[in-house]
Amino acid sequence: MYNIKKNPLATLILCMLILSSCAGTKKVAYLQKLDNSINQLQKNNDTQFDARIKPKDLLSITVVSSEPMASKGFNLVMPQIAELSNANSLYSQPTLQTYLVDNDGKIDFPVFGKLFVKGYTRKELEGLLQSKLASSFSKERPVVTIRFINYAVNILGEVNRPGKYNVSNDRISIFDALAMAGDMTIYGKRENVKVIRENADGTKTILTLNLNDEKIIYSSAYYLEQNDVLYIEPNKTKSNATNFGAAETYAISAVSVLLSLTSLIVNIVNK
């Protein structure tokens, strides 16, 4: 039978490991204590997130109708580049030009000139353009499709794959972003996650999130906006480790090994 008095060192180490593992679980798990009442409340109050257009956004705008000639004037095409050779003339595939939202929140649209688009969602702007274009088509209202070209988020800090990630559907939650970056490392500080956001007027906002808190689903930063920076701060363990050089790290490892060996020898001798 295991004797605590004969193995005080081993017992101390074992207790420390058990306590650290219990404390670690409380800090690592996402959405702790999530119950049915929270789920029901979210179902009742849920609103669909739609990204809103900001300055510096790049938009793709396509106008389609049963009148090709009428639609053509509203679909700006990049010039084709011809490469002449002895045998053939090669042409690049034509692509639609994109619209850059300027600092005043406007784009330069064919026929109508400067249009204010800042603050609109894609659906709202599609409806606005359909109304404006209706008089240019005799048979029917055209179909207008708008896409964000440069919608991306930046994920930095204690994640497995930090970097800039493009988003195809202009809707991404903070957990979607972490999944793309391979989730947090064990050293990530889950209760103090930062979202750095540039607002439509150019001002910056820093939002702090606690991923251990189930109420994060109500936060304005739960869905990330275009060009948000998600920063995962390192916890104390990682921060303290940076204070040691290679020599100190090897010394700590050697001491740990010696303590383990000492515990093993004491255990064998006392049997």
Q: How many CA atoms lie within 13 A of 193 on its CB side?
A: 32
pLDDT at residue 266, as a whole number: 64
Task: Output the six-digit token pair for 254.
Answer: 């050697």
Successive 10-residue mean pLDDT values, the chain, 271 residues: 52 51 54 55 59 94 86 75 55 73 93 93 94 83 91 95 92 94 92 92 91 88 94 79 56 66 67 61
Task: Output the six-digit token pair for 261.
Answer: 């060996």
pLDDT at residue 214, as a whole number: 84
- 3-state class (DSSP) for residue 129: helix
pLDDT at residue 251, as a whole number: 61
Residue (of 66, 47, 64, 55) closest to 146 by Cα position: 64
pLDDT at residue 119, as a whole number: 94
Domain 151-234 homologous superfamily, CATH:
Outer membrane lipoprotein wza domain like (3.10.560.10)
Q: Spelled out in words, what is the top-level CATH class assigned to the domain 58-148?
A: alpha beta
* CATH 3.30.1950 location in the chain: 58-148
* CATH 3.10.560.10 location in the chain: 151-234
Whether the predicted model's global pTM rises above the 0.75 cut: no
Q: Is 181 exposed, middle or buried (0-12, 13-18, 19+ CB in 10 A)?
A: buried
The per-residue DSSP string of 189-225 comes to -TTSEEEEEE-TTS-EEEEEE-TTBGGGGGSTTSEEP
